[in-house]
Structure 1
Amino acid sequence: MESNPTPIVTDADTDALVLRDDRDGVVTLRLNRPLQFNALSEAMLDALHHALSDIARDAGVRCVVLGAEGKAFCAGHDLREMRGTPELAYYQALFARCSVVMQAIQALPVPVIARVHGVATAAGCQLVGSCDLAIASDAARFAVSGINVGLFCSTPAVALSRNVSCKRAFDMLVTGRFIDAATAADWGLVNEAVPSAELDDAVARKVAEIVSKSPTAIRYGKAMFYRQRQMPLSEAYAYAGDVMARNMMEEDAGEGIDAFLQKRPARWRS
């Protein structure tokens, strides 16, 4: 059954910065600073990191959906907060903190789907690029627009350039221009762009596809997928072969192959 939304961390005004809903192994996280367009304040980053850490320890989670309240998905870093402490050490610590959160998404053993319904700019675009999958409303728009205020979006560039081609990423970074959801899908930043009224249904379909598969195989696969991308080809094949062999030794693999041969639905044991 669906629980009531659980606040993860609170602002001084007691509004929860991240809301968590659980239903049948699917966790939905929602950024909740709608009046600030869900800007990633220090407290918001801590809230999101805390939520991701909790999920990483929960063996019952099968999939995560990351969305947001209000009109925007995420407008990036909180520029007003950043200007309040004009110190190099502060900025270095802030961007390191943000990088830890982005990497925590890919470190989760289960898929994370970004549900993007409005603008995703700068670190908000980075957040989309850091998720394993992304489904966007056709009203969503994307940009790495720090250049417009004299700041090259260096950390968002890391995630962006791992999703779209170098020339397309660099064009966005040096112009600050927005792309629409259809372009984001064409370029590979998101998987699908759907009409706004169909966004939740599209996310639900993707979630259903994922949770119908073996949880053990998904966990093996996600960890392998990101690790092998950093390896030379021969090393990647050696590593992937070992992972696949270990996956074959799991009960789910035996059950899945037997079910296929016997022309019946698999009954996952994990």
Structure 2
Amino acid sequence: MEMLNPHCGVTRDARGVVHLAICNAGPLNILGSPVTDAVREGLQQLASDRSIRVVVLRGQSEKSMIGGADIKEMARLDQRSAEVFISRLRDLCEAVRQFPAPMIARMPGWCLGGGLEVAAACDFRVAAHDAHFGMPEVRVGIPSVIHAALLPRLIGWARARWLVMTAENIDAPTALAWGLVDKVAPAGELDAAVEHLISALLECGPEALRSQKALLRQWEELPLTESVNLSVKVFGESFLTDEPTRLMGAFVNRKR
């Protein structure tokens, strides 16, 4: 594993798949300020590398991807330092959400609070069969903020309200039924499930996938008519690459 910094390690393969591991952050991969900054900086360092096809975000520990934000650090905050702390986490989530290539959250064990916000900012979420999820902030006297705002878009207002206002955890089957995760892997098959998703993404045109991800982010923000009309130019621009000719040609000329 190549260490980009003390808290961010990466492995790469010949296909352009990068596994980015949150390192040296305790058994639950907790996001204190130094870890948060380091992972954001690692993502920003990788973002300009157009050879990257897929990023898998994971924890060094198998107990979680990210267990949550550092409560010990938060307990010492005042109003001003609290805003600085949460702005750091916002910037990490945005680095995930805006990363040009598809991002997969690999989710064993616990994923709580700020960890679930980071996962929500990923494009795909693949969970272990015994994973658990929750937004416990109100139990420790703070609201769920920043990228918790993605939750109603993922799972609807009623279920998002349940998570952030009751602070009750849900299990993996419930998370799948709610649409919080895309896939729950059978016992011992989390990496196989992640690899299956990677393989599907690698079958797609890399430039087309980057364009599709950027469009999806814009669709989240824009009214419907503007989203539709914006897409016309992006469709045309896809023909500036060789992907349509090459991939459509392979489809047309495939053995019947």
Q: Structure 2 length as normaliser, TM-score?
A: 0.94
Kindly indicate whether residue 71 of structure 2 is the aligned counterpart of residue 75 of structure 1.
no
Q: Report what 1:13 is aligned to.
A: none
Q: Report what 1:267 is aligned to.
A: none
Say which SS state the counterpart of residue 37 (structure 1) adopts.
coil
Q: How does 1:35-74 map to 2 (within 5 A)?
A: 35-70=26-61, 71-74=63-66
- Cα displacement string for residues 196-243 of structure 1 (whole angstroms, at most 9, x for unaligned residues): 311100101111111121111111111111112211111110001111
C-alpha spacing 1:55/1:115, structure 2 compared with 1 (3 Å): same
Structure 1 stretches (4+) deviating beyond 6 angstroms? none
Say which SS state the counterpart of residue 180 (structure 2) adopts.
coil
Q: How does 1:97-246 map to 2 (within 5 A)?
A: 97-246=88-237
Say which SS state the counterpart of residue 197 (structure 1) adopts.
coil
Q: Report what 2:12 is aligned to.
A: 22
- Cα displacement string for residues 104-157 of structure 1 (whole angstroms, at most 9, x for unaligned residues): 112111100000001000001111111100100011100001111122212242
One of 234, 238, 242 as aligned partner of 1:247:
238
Q: In structure 1, what is the Cα distance between the partners aligned to 2:114 and 2:152?
A: 13
Q: In structure 1, what is the Cα distance between the partners aligned to 2:134 and 2:108?
A: 14
- For the aligned residue pairs, the C-alpha RMSD in angstroms reads 1.6
- Cα displacement string for residues 5-50 of structure 1 (whole angstroms, at most 9, x for unaligned residues): 122332xxxxxx2221111211101122453511111111111111
Matched residue type, 2:90: S
Matched residue type, 2:2: T
Q: In structure 1, what is the Cα distance between the partners aligned to 2:80 and 2:93?
A: 20
Matched residue type, 1:54: Q
**Percent pairwise identity:** 27
Query: Is the Cα contact below 8 Å between 2:94 and 2:121 reproduced in 1?
Result: yes
Say which SS state the counterpart of residue 196 (structure 1) adopts.
coil
Say which SS state the counterpart of residue 59 (structure 1) adopts.
coil
Matched residue type, 1:7: M
Query: Is the Cα contact below 8 Å between 1:228 and 1:239 reproduced in 2?
Result: no
Matched residue type, 2:13: R
Kindly indicate whether residue 83 of structure 2 is the aligned counterpart of residue 87 of structure 1.
no
Matched residue type, 1:157: A
Q: In structure 1, what is the Cα distance between the partners aligned to 2:233 and 2:126?
A: 32
Say which SS state the counterpart of residue 213 (structure 1) adopts.
coil
Q: In structure 2, what is the Cα distance between the partners aligned to 1:83 and 1:229?
A: 34
Count of residues in correspondence between the two structures? 254
Deviation of 1:255 after TM superposition, in Å, equals 1.5
Q: In structure 2, what is the Cα distance between the partners aligned to 1:26 and 1:72?
A: 21
Query: Is the Cα contact below 8 Å between 2:92 and 2:118 reproduced in 1?
Result: no
